[in-house]
Amino acid sequence: MSEPVFRLARPGEGPAITAFINAHFDLRLPLLNRREFYQFYYEAQPAPRFAVAEQDGQYLSAAGYLPASLYEHPDIWVSVWVAAPGHNGVGLSLMDALPGLVGARVVACNNIRANTCVLYRFLGWQAERLPHYYRLGLRAAVGTELAVPGKDSARLPVTRDLALTRVPDAAALEALGLPETPHTPHKDLWYLRRRYFEYPHFTYDVWAACEAGRLLGYAVTRTVPAADTGCVPVVRLVDFIGPDSLLPRIGGALDGILRDTGAEYMDCYNAGIAPEVWAAAGFCERREGDGTVIPNYLTPPLRENTEYYYFTNQPEQFVLFKADGDQDRPNLPCD
C-alpha cells in the first residue's frame, strides 16, 4: 500500500469530491448541494477549490477552501473538512499540508466545532472562541424585543469624527480602490466586489470612510428588517477593512446607521481587534455568562446567544469577521 498523497483537485473532479464529502460528513451541506452556493464558493477554473488526501486511487480526506483574493498566493479560509472513518490523522495531515498546496501564508476557518480546537492547537495554530460585540439602539431605552441587556450594556460615548458614505455599486468600489490595512487575510477588490455586490440572497451595504480625498477604510453592514425578524430591525456589522485606529473615528457614523434603521442593536463578531478599540467605537463586549443575550439567529428569532469558534495558522495581525469564509449566509435547504 502506497503512502497518502496530498494534492489539489484536478479539473472536473468536483462531483467526485462532493460525493465523498456527502458520504462522510455528518450532515448534507447546502454549500455543496445548492447549485448557486457551490458555484459561488467552490467552482473555479481550471479546477474546483478542493484539496484531497488520496491513497491508491481512493480519497481519505477532503477540504474545501475559499480565497480572499486573486493574488498568486491568496490567503484562504477553510470551508469544509472531512476524513473517512479511521483516517482522522490523514485528515489532520491534509490540513497541515494545505498552506503549502495552495501557496497560502494565512489559513483560517470561521465556525469550527468547539471540541476540535484541540486538533488545530496540535498543529501549533490558534483556535479560540470568537468574541461578540454589540451596541444597543435608542429604542432599547424603552424596552427590548430581542436582546436581553446586561449590567454592562449601556450605550458608550462615541466620536463623531468621520462620516461613512455608502458605496452604491461595484463600479464605485473599483474607483475608490483598497485602503491600507495591517490586517490579514488580505482581501482584494475582486473579493470585496464578489462578496458584497454579487452574493446570492443577501444584500449588503458597503460604507467608505474618507478624509481629505483619501480612502481610509470600509465598513460593511447588513440590515435584517422587521419584516424578517417579525418584530424589530437589527444591523450586523459583518466586515471592516482598515487600521484599528479608524474604528473609534467612525463610531458616531455607525451609531447613525443604527439610529437611521431604527434597529434594536448593531452587533459584530470579531477576532483580532482589541475590546478597548471596540469600546472606543461604542461597542460593548458580550462575555460568556454575563447575563447579556444578543441573538444571532433572526429569521425567525432565536432569543439566545450563539458562540462561534475559529482557527488561524498565523495569528499576528489576523482579524476575523462574521462574513469571512462561508459564514453570514441564509439557512436554506440543500435542494
Q: What is the pLDDT of residues 237-291, one digit of tens each?
A: 999 999 999 999 999 999 999 999 999 999 999 999 999 999 999 999 999 999 9
Residue 118: inside a domain, yes or no? no
Please check whether residues 55 and 89 belong to one and the same domain.
yes
Residue 293: inside a domain, yes or no? yes
Secondary structure (H, E, C), the chain: CCCCEEEECCCCCHHHHHHHHHHHCCCCCHHHHCHHHHHHHCCCCCCCCEEEEEECCEEEEEEEEEECCCCCCCCEEEEEEEECCCCHHHHHHHHHHHHHHHCCCCEEEECCCHHHHHHHHHCCCEEEECCEEEEECHHHHHCCCCCECCCCCCCCCCCCCCCCEEECCHHHHHHHCCCCCCCECCCCHHHHHHHHHCCCCCCCEEEEEEECCEEEEEEEEEEECHHHHCCCCEEEEEEEECCCCHHHHCHHHHHHHHHHHCCCEEEEEEECCCHHHHHHCCCEEECCCCCCECCCCECCECCCCCCCEEEECCCCCECEECCCCCCCCCCCCCC
**Cell 488526501 sits on residue:** 53
Q: How many domains does the chain have?
A: 2
Please check whether residues 206 and 256 belong to one and the same domain.
yes
Q: Which three cell numbers stand for residue 328?
A: 453570514
Residue 325: inside a domain, yes or no? no
Please check whether residues 145 and 244 belong to one and the same domain.
yes
CB 285 within 8 A of CB 131: yes
Please check whether residues 82 and 143 belong to one and the same domain.
no
Backbone angles phi and psi of 18, in degrees to 5: -60, -40
Please check whether residues 80 and 149 belong to one and the same domain.
no
Please check whether residues 59 and 147 belong to one and the same domain.
no
Count the alpha carbons within 13 Å of 237 in the hemisphere toward its beta carbon: 28
Residue 335: inside a domain, yes or no? no
| Rounded CA separation 8/10 (Å) | 7
- Put simply, whether the predicted model's pTM sits higher than 0.95 gets the answer yes
Confidence band for 188, pLDDT divided at 50, 70 and 90: very high
Centre a 10 Å sphere on the Cβ of residue 144 and count the other Cβ atoms it contains: 18
Residue 24, domain extent:
5-111
CATH number, position 57: 3.40.630.30
Whole-number pLDDT of residue 40: 96
Please check whether residues 135 and 105 belong to one and the same domain.
no
Residue 325's nearest CA partner among 75, 137, 79, 56 is 79
Please check whether residues 33 and 63 belong to one and the same domain.
yes
Residue 324: inside a domain, yes or no? no
pLDDT, averaged across the chain: 96
| Rounded CA separation 277/248 (Å) | 7
Residue 299: inside a domain, yes or no? yes
Whole-number pLDDT of residue 334: 83
Residue 124: inside a domain, yes or no? no
Please check whether residues 137 and 89 belong to one and the same domain.
no
CB 331 within 8 A of CB 306: no
Please check whether residues 74 and 144 belong to one and the same domain.
no
Please check whether residues 78 and 24 belong to one and the same domain.
yes
| Rounded CA separation 137/275 (Å) | 19
Q: What is the pLDDT of residues 124-172, one digit of tens each?
A: 999 999 999 999 999 776 788 999 999 999 999 999 999 999 999 999 9
Q: Is the pLDDT confidence value at 1 over 90? A: no
Residue 123: inside a domain, yes or no? no
Please check whether residues 254 and 141 belong to one and the same domain.
yes
